[in-house]
Chain A
Amino acid sequence: MLRLEKRPSPSQAWNYATPVLAVLLTMIAGGILFAILGKNPFEAIRLIFWDPLFSEQFGSYSRPQLLIKAGPLILIACGLAIGFRAGIWNIGAEGQYIVGALCAAAVALWFFPAESVLVFPLMIVAGALGGWAWAMIPAILKTRFNTNEILVSLLLVYVAEKLLAAAATGFLRNPDGAGFPGSRNINQYPSAANLELIPNTGLHWGGVAAFAAVLFTYVMLQRHILGFHVRLAGQAPRAARFAGVAPARLVLICLGLGGAFAGMAGMFEVAGPARLISIDFNAGYGFTAIIVAFLGRLHPVGIVLAGLLLALTYIGGELAQFMLSIPAAAIQVFQGMLLFFLLALDVLSNYRIRLALPGRTSEAK
């Protein structure tokens, strides 16, 4: 019989090994899935993980996409990781991302067509504030009425999607757009456009912000007393209170940071790759960032690696969809499996598996 035995201290080795193992298991399980769908599993896995980066045919298009897609994932995941470390579960980054984008777009369209260097910074502030304000709803409900932030933040995503639809077809609609849904093309409004900084790299201001967020998160969690309090509250809430951490303050800070980061990601997206507010503006970055945060062990450096990997599954998924006509949902299943395997394997960090033969007691530790 297999038996789980709690380790005296969490295993560092398994802590690093489980994300890698989870990726491998996802590839195997995904391969089986593709085989059942009647596709060549090896070709599909190669298309998703290898070709976007290294094939001559697709690489030149796909490689810049890597940074474009990883940027928002990393930026959002950094904010989420701070909250997750504290045991504050913001599942609604997708909604905060949408509201941030809407606020930034509203600022841009307010100034349009005036040109000023202030427009772009103002949009960043508006995006961050929008995401922050959207996250304050679950935060205040939690601190005042003890509601569950998981449910409130998640359900607010659907409210944000309705707002997005209303904006695209109503208050932010392009007045010169012949009645079609969607705002003006912000990417073509020079003061507001979030353009590629170095040609053919995919690096725009969002990538720079993601990098800054990684640094910020690292310094905060590893060096600042606030980061210590965040970790303490997540691991031992009573000890945190004893140490003098005010739980309500922590909820406001963590949800606020998560919301602000997600809102900024929305801003860079709407002014950059997405170009405008449209009904289907959001691409699920807010949800995928949850996987990024966990796959990256809630550690900023891990989040960079995980962000790049999940960006790859987006790009490779599109490629596989296009080349092998694998359904679009398959790639979401793929991402979901990744989180599933990771969480399942996490047990190995805290427990070791012992083979206990019947009739024989296991030796003492």
Chain B
Amino acid sequence: MVGDLSAGERQRVEIIRCLLQNPQLLIMDEPTSVLTPQEVDILFRTLRQLRSEGKSILYISHKLEEIRAICENATVLRLGKVVGRADPRQESARSLAEMMVGQSLHVPTRERLAPGRPLLAVRDLTLAPQSAFGTALKGITLTVHAGEILGIGGVAGNGQDELLAALSGEVRAPAGAIEMDGQKVGAYGPTARRALGLLCAPEERLGHAAAPDMSLTENALLTGAWREKLVSRGFVSYAKARDFAERVILRFDVRTPGPGVAARALSGGNLQKFVIGREILQKPTVLVVNQPTWGVDASAAAAIRQALLDLAHNGAAVVVISQDLDELLEVADHFAALNGGRLSAPRPVPGLTMDQIGLMLGGAEGEPHAAA
């Protein structure tokens, strides 16, 4: 059954189904989002083969290195309008990105710090899936120190959502499986974990991180209720909640008429800035984000990454779960891969090659690395 395959395998089934029909024009929209680098290589070889046979390929992607690698002609879209055409082989990824956002790009920077004490420790976390097509977590072990960013890569559907749910407290774990700053928090719910400074931003913005039909004020209250003291003796101060929402909007440059607007009226990128900003402004001790820049334009993505780097620089432990390897290599100090609900041993990012990453993503990791 296709349903039993991994997300990457499912994607390959779909691509092969297209290729089998002997197409004259092949249109692909973000085909590599759930493929490992090795699988991407295989796909690109196939696409080049098709090209040499005289077929046309329309390739839609936000991964600029891929565009540069296989395309001869690029059309840049912004908000549904054509804003430029280029030969991607003549451009750098950066110049393409700037064409996309229409302004010069800020490249996130920071100085690397010596890691502090361990703030988040997960030990042998094993959880059954909550839904029929969910992924079981198997023996997840990780440690994140103060000032450190741990990047967790992996092809979609390998346990990212489940790991976030287990860390946020939406799904309870055995008490000792998750420790925060030395305190066992596995059995705590989301509210108790937030009180201790463990904050999360899930991948799905509408419906999970934010309530679509509620205003930004109410969405600010959604996770900020206790830490920002928006509630006293059970009663909500909507004035304070609006104030908090306005601070998030201002600090993270969320483009919206105001905090009274419904979350669903915001563009994906703006809502993402709001969702991430809402957690960062609460000064987390540990922040866990899943796909922090998914579907976000390049300048907003850079702003979000910079905010994550700043947060770590100020002594927080940060876990970034992402399918965007470039993003992980840019922000993370250590890299680990999720495969079939198992997490590889984390490795330091400096010196890590794409080949090694590909093997880790595929589950064929090398000898266990001494815990960072």
A225 contacts B211, CB within 8 Å? no
> Which residues of chain B have C-beta atoms less than 8 A from A236's C-beta?
207-208, 210-214
Q: Does A9 contact B (CB under 8 A)?
A: yes
B236 contacts A242, CB within 8 Å? no
* A228-B221, A232-B214 as given contacts; A244 in contact with B265, CB under 8 Å: no
Q: Which one of A8, A232, A246 contacts B211 once the chains associate, using CB atoms below 8 Å?
A: A232
Interface string of A1-30 (1 = CB under 8 A from B): 000000011100000000000000000000
* A235-B212, A239-B209 as given contacts; A225 in contact with B190, CB under 8 Å: no
State the CA gap A175–B215 with chains docked (Å): 60
> Which residues of chain A have C-beta atoms less than 8 A from B231's C-beta?
225
> Which residues of chain B have C-beta atoms less than 8 A from A8's C-beta?
262, 264-265
Q: Does B133 contact A (CB under 8 A)?
A: no
Q: Which one of A223, A241, A244, A246 contacts B236 once the chains associate, using CB atoms below 8 Å?
A: A223
> Which residues of chain A have C-beta atoms less than 8 A from B225's C-beta?
225, 228, 243
* A9-B265, A235-B212, A236-B207 as given contacts; A225 in contact with B168, CB under 8 Å: no
> Which residues of chain B have C-beta atoms less than 8 A from A235's C-beta?
211-214
Q: Does B191 contact A (CB under 8 A)?
A: yes
State the CA gap A242–B210 with chains docked (Å): 9
Within 8 A of B (CB), among A195-247: 223-226, 228, 231-232, 235-236, 238-244, 246
Besides A9-B265, A226-B234, A243-B222, 5 more A-B contacts (Cβ < 8 Å) are: A9-B262, A9-B264, A232-B214, A236-B214, A242-B170
> Which residues of chain A have C-beta atoms less than 8 A from B214's C-beta?
231-232, 235-236
Q: Which one of A9, A224, A226, A242 contacts B168 once the chains associate, using CB atoms below 8 Å?
A: A242
Chain A proximity of B4: nearest CB distance (Å): 25
Q: Residue on A with the closest CB to B221?
A: A228
Chain A proximity of B254: nearest CB distance (Å): 16
Q: Does B145 contact A (CB under 8 A)?
A: no
State the CA gap A236–B208 with chains docked (Å): 7
Chain A proximity of B262: nearest CB distance (Å): 4
Chain B proximity of A97: nearest CB distance (Å): 29
Interface size class of B (residues with CB under 8 A): 20 to 34
Q: Which one of A225, A238, A239, A246 contacts B234 once the chains associate, using CB atoms below 8 Å?
A: A225
A10 contacts B209, CB within 8 Å? no
Q: Does B341 contact A (CB under 8 A)?
A: no
Q: Does B273 contact A (CB under 8 A)?
A: no
> Which residues of chain A have C-beta atoms less than 8 A from B208's C-beta?
236, 238-239, 242
Q: Which one of A224, A226, A231, A238 contacts B207 once the chains associate, using CB atoms below 8 Å?
A: A238
> Which residues of chain B have C-beta atoms less than 8 A from A224's C-beta?
234-236
On B, residues with C-beta under 8 Å from A are 168-170, 189-191, 194, 200, 202, 204, 207-214, 218, 221-223, 225, 231, 234-236, 261-262, 264-265
> Which residues of chain B have C-beta atoms less than 8 A from A242's C-beta?
168, 170, 190, 200, 202, 208-209, 222-223
A9 contacts B261, CB within 8 Å? yes
Chain A proximity of B266: nearest CB distance (Å): 9
B221 contacts A10, CB within 8 Å? no
> Which residues of chain A have C-beta atoms less than 8 A from B168's C-beta?
242
> Which residues of chain A have C-beta atoms less than 8 A from B262's C-beta?
8-10
* A238-B208, A243-B190 as given contacts; A225 in contact with B213, CB under 8 Å: no
State the CA gap A226–B234 with chains docked (Å): 7
State the CA gap A242–B74 with chains docked (Å): 40
Which among A10, A223, A238, A240 has the highest number of chain B CB atoms within 10 Å? A238
State the CA gap A241–B208 with chains docked (Å): 8
> Which residues of chain A have C-beta atoms less than 8 A from B235's C-beta?
223-225
Chain A proximity of B80: nearest CB distance (Å): 8
> Which residues of chain B have C-beta atoms less than 8 A from A225's C-beta?
225, 231, 234-236
State the CA gap A355–B236 with chains docked (Å): 43
Chain B proximity of A331: nearest CB distance (Å): 35
State the CA gap A228–B236 with chains docked (Å): 9
**Could you write out 30 A-B pairs with CB less than 8 Å apart?**
A8-B262, A9-B213, A9-B261, A9-B264, A9-B265, A10-B262, A223-B236, A224-B235, A224-B236, A225-B235, A228-B218, A228-B221, A232-B211, A232-B214, A235-B211, A236-B207, A236-B208, A236-B214, A238-B208, A239-B207, A239-B211, A241-B170, A241-B190, A242-B168, A242-B170, A242-B223, A244-B169, A244-B189, A244-B190, A246-B189
* A8-B262, A9-B261, A225-B231 as given contacts; A244 in contact with B211, CB under 8 Å: no
State the CA gap A8–B267 with chains docked (Å): 11
> Which residues of chain B have C-beta atoms less than 8 A from A10's C-beta?
213, 262
State the CA gap A231–B218 with chains docked (Å): 10
A239 contacts B210, CB within 8 Å? yes
State the CA gap A133–B170 with chains docked (Å): 30
> Which residues of chain B have C-beta atoms less than 8 A from A239's C-beta?
207-211, 222
Chain B proximity of A320: nearest CB distance (Å): 40
State the CA gap A228–B238 with chains docked (Å): 11
> Nearest 10 pairs between A and B by C-beta?
A244-B191, A244-B190, A236-B211, A9-B262, A8-B265, A238-B208, A239-B211, A243-B222, A225-B231, A241-B170
Q: Residue on B with the closest CB to A9?
A: B262
Which among A8, A225, A226, A244 has the highest number of chain B CB atoms within 10 Å? A244
Chain A proximity of B217: nearest CB distance (Å): 11
State the CA gap A235–B211 with chains docked (Å): 7
State the CA gap A246–B202 with chains docked (Å): 18
> Which residues of chain A have C-beta atoms less than 8 A from B169's C-beta?
244
> Which residues of chain B have C-beta atoms less than 8 A from A240's C-beta?
211
Q: Residue on B with the closest CB to A227?
A: B236
> Which residues of chain B have C-beta atoms less than 8 A from A238's C-beta?
204, 207-208
Q: Residue on B with the closest CB to A239?
A: B211
State the CA gap A242–B208 with chains docked (Å): 7
